[in-house]
Amino acid sequence: MAAVPVAYNYKTGIMYGIIGNPLTHSWSPAFFAKKFERLEIDERYERFPLTQISEFPDLLRRMPQLKGLNVTIPFKEKVLDYLDEIDSEAADIGAVNCIKITEGKTKGFNTDIIGLEKTFVHWLPSVFSGEALILGTGGASKAVAAALAKRNIPFQFVSRKPAPDMLSYQQLSETIIAGHKLIINTSPMGMFPNFKSAPELPYGALNQNHFLLDLIYNPVETLFLQYGKKQGAQVKNGEEMLIEQAEASWEIWRKTAAR
């Protein structure tokens, strides 16, 4: 079982954190440490690596000071079965990345979609006419699909293996790439420390009319984005989404009652 801290000597005793595996790439602890310093509050945010999601209830028992958690790969979908309540939008999406803990009761939310919506507003043209490819089929991909649906952007999932209503990477021809102007990587491919890897695409089919978004923010520029930039594509990493979803999580945690 993954080891977790069990005692902290600070005044409030209030703690937040992130669960997932691995967590070495996560910037969330640094983000919240700076936030707490700026707000002059004596609270903590820690990494809680879990080998498997079945360890989640024990974490809650051992850390009663927890008031909120973020959730990252590979547990955004698996954690749903362990929650007392799920926000309606998160239930519709089928993935949770934020948990509010109130008197021992847990409620799941999805703030990834908030981060994505704000990223789209700031980055994509106000009128985007085109189709999208979503690389990966994990929990983050479901939030991406929901955000695209809100903007009426047609999309197609891409998986490592062929499946109904999904393409495999082997099926991604230059014609398919040319016909999908927005490509979003939701997989961990290229994430630290495996930054020398990238999704297998015919990158030569990209041009200045393409938009590439990588939800990875560490490294700042993945090979996926580097290859796209060489072809003239508009590229963006996941830092803005990280910040916006983290701020949305903070708002949820700080409310006296879950929304």
As a dihedral over the C-alpha atoms of residue 84, residue 86, residue 91, residue 94, rounded to 10 degrees, the angle is -60
76 a catalytic residue:
yes
d(CA 139, CA 176): 24
Give me the catalytic one of 67, 76, 100, 118: 76
**CA-CA distances (angstroms) from residue 239 to 115, 215, 231, 257?**
10, 8, 22, 29
Contact 80, 86 (CB under 8 A): yes
Phi, psi of 115 (to 5 degrees): -65, -40
Residue in 242, 140, 240, 119 with CA at minimum distance from that of residue 182: 119
- The three-state secondary structure class of 218 is coil
The pairing of beta strand 98-102 with beta strand 66-71: antiparallel
d(CA 115, CA 97): 11
d(CA 49, CA 24): 9
Tokens of 137: 């089929």
d(CA 77, CA 93): 10
> Which 8-state DSSP code applies to residue 11?
S
What is the set of active-site residues? 76
